[in-house]
Amino acid sequence: MASASTLDLDAVRARFPALASGVALLDAPGGTQCPQSVIDAIAAYLRESNANRGGAFAASCRSDELVEEAHAAAAGFLGCEPGETIFGANMTTLNFVLTRTLGRTLAAGDEIVVTRLDHDGNIAPWLELARDLDLRVHIVEFRDDTTLDLDDLERKLSERTRVVAFPLASNAFGTTTDAVRIVELAHAARALAWADAVHYAPHRPIDVAALGVDVLLCSPYKFFGPHLGLAYGREELLRAWRPYKARPAADEPPGTRFETGTLAHELLAGFVAAVEHLREVGWGAIEAHERALGQRFLDGLPRSCTLYGLGRMDGRVPTFAFRVDGRTPREAAERLAAREIAVWDGDYYAVEGMERLGLQPEGAVRAGFVHYNTFEEVDRLLDALDGI
């Protein structure tokens, strides 16, 4: 559909039935829309193959094939082996499962490092584990421009550090991190590198091998799929951990040990279709278009708005947190909604980051662009902000 530098935007938008409403859907940081192919795949499974696994009959066999296909699609999306992929209800639930499993290997006094850029889904599980096991949690600071302070990370590593948990991109401010360097620092301290890729996944391709991470989590509903959680775990780790699982459940491949109960098969069908959609559109076209959208927003942001985060597209994805003079974030979001522009307000579970910038309890307005958004929608937002 697209080359590395062009995007057939009309063709892309025609894939998404929700876009026909006329509302400028700039709410993608909280969850993206689904293309028709994803909707059709979910419906087709429920219509034609709705059966549990392991049976001798045709519908059950199709479910077996679908689960294998979904793991293969996940492996292609993440750059790993199918057996290293894990599906769950959502990222946060998966993270609680995996952190609790890791907890069986930890001892009182061990240390976990997290960052103030993180979504609470990669902080709260560690805080709760620390409470249970008498661990210590250190929080890495970020600078005023919301870039992560790697010097502070180095200072907070020690011989007791067991995990460095960090985001690939901030869900609040759009800032990306130097993941390769973070992984290097973590491994030099003999700690695991534990990445939250939820906000990164809609915008850039993921290659866990190139990153060197040990665990990575993301959410398909943030990259044009259904509500699911997806995780990668390095095979040696998954085999070394004792999982919480029902005894008859399969032990091979290793990732399935952490998939408790029956998976949502219809959602796996939608996930496969979402990955195929991204492959067809092409990451080069997606990145180029989103960069242009973000730059247009930055160039036109009214003086009445205060941006929190980088004022350039280098080092970020096109997600923007800001406040409008004279309006609370909620008031601004309501006025934009009245003009059929969908944005978010609040802290978006980025509790530590919002507190660091003094934005609690109201948070900020958050607008985000993905590859189905248009320059006209950016202009609609800028005009509306200028008017409120």
pLDDT by residue (tens digit) across 301-324?
999 999 999 999 999 999 999 999
Question: Do 20 and 121 share a structural domain?
Answer: no
Q: Can you give the pTM of this predicted structure?
A: 0.96
Q: What pLDDT does residue 60 have?
A: 96
Q: Is the dihedral of CA 93, 114, 311, 5 positive or negative?
A: negative
Q: What is the mean pLDDT of residues 220-230?
A: 98
Q: What pLDDT does residue 6 have?
A: 79
Q: What pLDDT does residue 5 have?
A: 46
Say which DSSP state 303 is in.
T
118 belongs to a structural domain: yes
In this predicted structure, the answer to whether residue 3 has a pLDDT above a threshold of 80 is no
How far, rounded to the nearest angstrom, does the alpha carbon of residue 65 sit from its chain's CA centroid?
Answer: 27
In this predicted structure, the answer to whether residue 235 has a pLDDT above a threshold of 50 is yes
**Whose CA is closest to 172, among 365, 373, 374, 381?**
365
26 belongs to a structural domain: yes
Which residue is listed with tokens 């997806």?
230
In this predicted structure, the answer to whether residue 98 has a pLDDT above a threshold of 60 is yes
Question: Do 240 and 300 share a structural domain?
Answer: no
204 belongs to a structural domain: yes
Q: For residues 315 and 148, give the distance between their C-alpha atoms in angstroms, rounded to a whole number.
A: 11
Question: Do 136 and 273 share a structural domain?
Answer: yes
Which of 243, 260, 278 corresponds to the end of one domain? 278
CATH number at residue 308: 3.90.1150.10
Question: Do 288 and 160 share a structural domain?
Answer: no
Cβ pair 208, 79 in contact under 8 A: yes
Question: Do 326 and 207 share a structural domain?
Answer: no
Question: Do 290 and 210 share a structural domain?
Answer: no
Q: What is the mean pLDDT of residues 137-144?
A: 98
Cβ pair 286, 224 in contact under 8 A: no
Beta strands 111-115 and 136-140: pairing type?
parallel
Q: For residues 263 and 55, give the distance between their C-alpha atoms in angstroms, rounded to a whole number.
A: 15
Number of domains the chain contains: 2
In this predicted structure, the answer to whether residue 83 has a pLDDT above a threshold of 90 is yes
Question: Do 100 and 53 share a structural domain?
Answer: yes
Which of 278, 293, 316 corresponds to the end of one domain? 278
Q: What is the mean pLDDT of residues 262-282?
A: 97
Q: What would you measure as the largest C-alpha separation in the chain, in angstroms?
A: 66
**Whose CA is closest to 213, among 241, 242, 243, 185?**
185
Question: Do 116 and 16 share a structural domain?
Answer: no
Question: Do 223 and 132 share a structural domain?
Answer: yes
Q: For residues 284 and 278, give the distance between their C-alpha atoms in angstroms, rounded to a whole number.
A: 11
CATH number at residue 231: 3.40.640.10
Question: Do 181 and 48 share a structural domain?
Answer: yes
In this predicted structure, the answer to whether residue 36 has a pLDDT above a threshold of 80 is yes
178 belongs to a structural domain: yes
16 belongs to a structural domain: yes
At 320-347, the pLDDT tens digits run 999 999 999 999 999 999 999 999 999 9
Cβ pair 16, 278 in contact under 8 A: no
In this predicted structure, the answer to whether residue 1 has a pLDDT above a threshold of 50 is no
- Indicate left, alpha or beta for 310 from its phi (over 0: left) and psi (-120 to 50: alpha): beta
Which of 209, 244, 278 corresponds to the end of one domain? 278
Question: Do 195 and 72 share a structural domain?
Answer: yes
With a CB cutoff of 8 Å and minimum separation 6, the contacts of 88 are 94, 97, 228, 229, 230, 231, 258, 259
Instruction: State the pLDDT confidence band at 180, using cuts at 50, 70 and 90.
Output: very high
In this predicted structure, the answer to whether residue 126 has a pLDDT above a threshold of 70 is yes
Q: For residues 27 and 230, give the distance between their C-alpha atoms in angstroms, rounded to a whole number.
A: 21
Question: Do 258 and 166 share a structural domain?
Answer: yes
Q: What pLDDT does residue 249 have?
A: 86
Residue 357, domain extent = 9-30+282-387
312 belongs to a structural domain: yes
In this predicted structure, the answer to whether residue 104 has a pLDDT above a threshold of 80 is yes
1 belongs to a structural domain: no
What share of the chain has pLDDT > 70, as a percent? 99
The CA distances from residue 330 to 318, 354, 367, in Å, are: 21, 15, 13
The two tokens of residue 82 are 């199918």
114 belongs to a structural domain: yes
Instruction: State the pLDDT confidence band at 250, using cuts at 50, 70 and 90.
Output: confident
In this predicted structure, the answer to whether residue 179 has a pLDDT above a threshold of 60 is yes
**Which amino acid is residue 151, in one-letter code?**
D
With a CB cutoff of 8 Å and minimum separation 6, the contacts of 219 are 90, 91, 198, 201, 227, 228, 229, 230
